[in-house]
Copies of this chain bind each other. A is one copy, B any other.
Amino acid sequence: MMSAAQFESLESILEKHIPPEELKEVRRRLFGKELKKLEFPSDAIEAAKERDFELQGYVLEAALEQLRKPFIVRVGLVQNKIVHPTDAPVIDQLIFLWLHHSDLLVQLHKITALHRRIGEIVEVASMCGVNIVCFQEAWTMPFAFCTREKAPWTEFAESAEEGHTTRFCQELAKKYNMVVVSPILERDDIHGGTLWNTAVVVSNSGNVLGKSRKNHIPRVGDFNESTYYMEGNTGHRVFQTQYGRIAVNICYGRHHPLNWFMYSMNGAEIIFNPSATVGELSEPMWPIEARNAAIANHCFTCAINRVGTEHFKNEFTSGDGKKAHSDFGYFYGSSYVAAPDGSCTPGLSRTQDGLLVAELDLNLNRQISDKWSFKMTGRYDMYAELLHKAVQPDFKPDIVKES
């Protein structure tokens, strides 16, 4: 039997074995309309090869309109392995010094091996014309919540507004004129030093636009996150950028249709879903949920997952009746972009670091909304009332019984 890690991608297996005519129909059924591939400059392709990450690009087109011009945006989804083993001292991960000149002041920035890795991928994203880049959940650290241990993991937490990772992202944003979505472990020192699972949104101007916290916290198997931070209190805010209105639905929130819905009701045109999830648990759900959200809400969704297996020093249980063990399972990558018309890009590899570039025409959202009209036909006033009743302690489900 193949190991989970060996299986490169669904799409590569289909392509290898199925003859072109039938492949076309399989793809239509599985992925919707046929997507054009993006052409990239040869130096970008070369750099991706040298830096050992996969580079893929697709175009998600809309129809031409008479009054509105196409609203073309390129998003970049980054998936990656951690660079150092999890038991490397936190301080040892700060291996790079980076000199930066700004406002006539020379600042000394500490950046980690992971920051360096992300930096070299974002440089290629820039060569590929990416306007908005999003990294995976808690990208600055191992996904260590399976351990239930606080030390040393909470040392990776930083201020969303002033941490060195946010400063690093501000540099990237300014340098490449790119909006950066940076999901980190946040420490909020002005509210008692609490931890949060937070995405920082940096404008292409380099200013911090704001932050968005994870709304739904898992209590599933190795995802012991509720012992580290609580449900987010930043609501479903949407960030107006030069490249469209974006929102960030972090990881486990993709299982909650109402969460996607509220981002969309606030006007999100693209909803990013930075995640960390493993094969045994969620892989068959992965291609379903973000894609369903794009369809149901007439918007684009971008699902991002990390790659590789992360081993930890002390064994732990996964709460599944099996023996204690020392790894989280296999993070299967497979990042993809889904469109409101039900089409989606192939996923990135299950095994390699990668950058997925998708060129979106945001006009598609309104075109599909006018065609399918899910918001118009949604009867939300009725559901507001029903939901209000359903949460009451004396709620009586409407069950018809034979008399």
A192 interface residue per 8 A CB criterion: no
- Give every chain B residue within 8 A of A26 (Cβ-Cβ): 10, 13-14
Cα of A335 to Cα of B386 in the assembled complex, Å: 30
Query: How far apart sit A89 and B201, CA to CA, in the bound complex (Å)?
Result: 64
Q: Is A249 on the interface with B (CB-CB < 8 A)?
A: no
The smallest beta-carbon distance between A291 and chain B, in angstroms, is 6
Given A219-B377, A377-B216: A402 in contact with B240 (beta carbons within 8 A): yes
Q: For the complex, is A163 an interface residue (Cβ under 8 Å from B)?
A: no
B266:A257 contact, CB within 8 angstroms: no
CB atoms of A383 and B258 under 8 A apart: yes
Closest Cβ of chain B to A264, distance in Å, is 10
Contacts of A153 in B (CB 8 A): none
Q: Are A402 and B205 CB-contacts (below 8 A) given A284-B31, A397-B267?
A: yes
Partner of A284, one of B14, B30, B237, B256: B30
- Closest-CB distance, A392 to chain B (whole angstroms): 9
- Is B388's CB under 8 angstroms from A209's CB? no
User: How many copies make up the complex?
Assistant: 2
Pair B266/A261 contact, Cβ less than 8 Å: no
Contacts of A24 in B (CB 8 A): 1-2
Residues of B within 8 A of A203 (CB): 402
Pick the contact of A377: B21, B241, B256, B390 (CB < 8 A): B256
Residues of B within 8 A of A151 (CB): none
Contact with B along A354-375 (1 / 0, CB 8 A): 0000000000000000011110
What residues of chain A have their CB less than 8 Å away from a CB belonging to chain B?
A: 1-2, 7, 10, 13-14, 17-19, 21-22, 24-26, 28-33, 201, 203, 205, 207, 209-210, 215-221, 231, 235-241, 245, 252, 255-258, 261-262, 265-267, 282-285, 287-289, 291-292, 295-296, 342-343, 371-374, 376-381, 383-388, 390-391, 397-402
CB pair A240 B401 closer than 8 Å: yes
- A402-B203, A402-B209 known; A13 and B22 CB under 8 Å? yes
Q: Is A285 within 8 A of B289, CB to CB?
A: no
Are B266 and A399 interface neighbours, CB within 8 A?
A: yes
Contact partner of A255 among B13, B372, B390, CB < 8 A? B372
7 of the cross-chain contacts (CB-CB < 8 Å) are: A13-B22, A210-B400, A238-B398, A257-B261, A258-B383, A292-B292, A384-B388
A102, B288: Cα distance in complex, Å: 49
Q: Which 10 A-B pairs have the closest CB atoms?
A: A257-B257, A292-B292, A32-B284, A384-B387, A284-B342, A266-B397, A285-B342, A384-B388, A258-B383, A7-B25
